């Protein structure tokens, strides 16, 4: 699959509008399809181009491609077969320890080294976020994690689609059992599980509310009583 140059070109020129319209949650996968470690890393790199609060990159990813490891996920995900049949299951987590001035400084140092930021700007940024990190509640940090994690997860699903893969985001699993089974460190919070692979066929079409049902436009909800 990957490594074939014409495929690479084709995937990289996937039309953005097709990608967002054609992504559907797929639940039936071809178990014979393998995704290489290299391609999963490329996919994660693309996902990580997503924004994150003060660019802290708090995301962490637990990747499962090995059949024996994926099999452990089956009871944890209440028998959802896609965790076994999809080529990979990627669990998005967030590091609660990311919200420190030291981490902020560490990331911004890379921007300085890359010539994107001056040391002066780095220090101004560090000072401006320091107070927040020192006083932020666990609840507030967790809310940031869910936002940052949601954004990276969405980007991951779209990047996968652009490469010709299907996905399904999943919260239908026992976080408690998952954490126990895979010894998830205390500082990581679970955000979303995502199965990635080639669907056996088209996923169910789904509907959306009409755009006018959800908009408040300059003083008035366009449609009342939703
Ligand atoms: C946070 C979240 C959790 C979800 N959990 C599951 C899940 O555990 N199993 C599943 O089959 N689908 C799950 N879904 C998929 C939704 O059912 C699906 O996105 C929705 O029905 C819209 O369909 P579409 O993604 O095909 O457009 C989840 C979606 C989200 C955003």
| Confidence tier at 81 by pLDDT (50, 70, 90) | very high
CA 132, CA 99: separation in Å to the nearest integer?
9
CA distance to 58, 71, 84, 169, per residue, from 68 (Å) = 28, 5, 9, 21
Mutate to test the pocket of ligand 1, among 169, 205, 206 (most ligand atoms within 8 A of CB): 169
- Angle, alpha carbons 44-46-51 (nearest 5°): 100
CA 17, CA 112: separation in Å to the nearest integer?
35
The ligand 1 atom at the shortest distance from the C-alpha of residue 192 is 1
Ligand 1 binding pocket, CB closer than 6 Å: 24-25, 27, 80, 168-172, 192, 203, 206
Closest C-alpha to ligand 1, atom 22: 206
pLDDT at 11: 56
Listed range (68-72, 128-132, 192-196) with the worst mean pLDDT: 128-132
| Confidence tier at 226 by pLDDT (50, 70, 90) | low
Listed range (5-14, 50-59, 126-135, 208-217) with the worst mean pLDDT: 5-14
* Segments making up each domain of the chain, as ranges: 5-99+136-219
Fold of 5-99+136-219: NADH Oxidase (3.40.109)
Mutate to test the pocket of ligand 1, among 170, 173, 207, 209 (most ligand atoms within 8 A of CB): 170
pTM: 0.94
List the one residue out of 155, 56, 50, 63 whose CA is nearest residue 96: 56
Question: pLDDT tens, 162-192?
Answer: 999 999 999 999 999 999 999 999 999 999 9
Determine the average pLDDT of the residues in 214-220.
96
pLDDT at 32: 98
């Amino acid at each position: 699959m990957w490594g074939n140059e014409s495929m690479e070109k084709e995937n990289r020129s996937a039309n953005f509008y097709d990608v967002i319209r054609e992504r559907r949650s797929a639940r039936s996968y071809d178990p014979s399809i393998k995704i290489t470690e290299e391609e999963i890393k490329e996919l994660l790199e693309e996902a990580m181009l997503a924004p994150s609060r003060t660019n802290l990159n708090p995301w962490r990813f637990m990747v499962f491609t090995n059949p024996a490891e994926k099999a452990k996920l089956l009871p944890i995900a209440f028998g959802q077969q896609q965790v076994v049949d999809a080529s990979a299951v990627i669990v998005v987590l967030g590091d609660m320890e990311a919200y420190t001035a030291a981490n902020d400084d560490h990331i911004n140092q890379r921007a300085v080294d890359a010539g994107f930021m001056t040391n002066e700007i780095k220090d101004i940024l560090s000072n401006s976020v320091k107070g927040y990190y020192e006083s932020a509640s666990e609840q507030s940090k967790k809310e940031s994690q869910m936002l940052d994690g949601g954004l990276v997860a969405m980007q991951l699903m779209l990047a996968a689609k652009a490469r010709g893969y299907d996905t399904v985001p999943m919260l239908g699993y026992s976080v408690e059992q998952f954490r126990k089974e895979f010894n998830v460190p205390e500082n990581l919070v679970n955000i979303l599980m995502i199965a990635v692979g080639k669907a056996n066929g088209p996923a169910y079409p789904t509907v959306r509310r009409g755009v006018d049902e959800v908009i408040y436009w300059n003083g008035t909800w366009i449609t009342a009583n939703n």
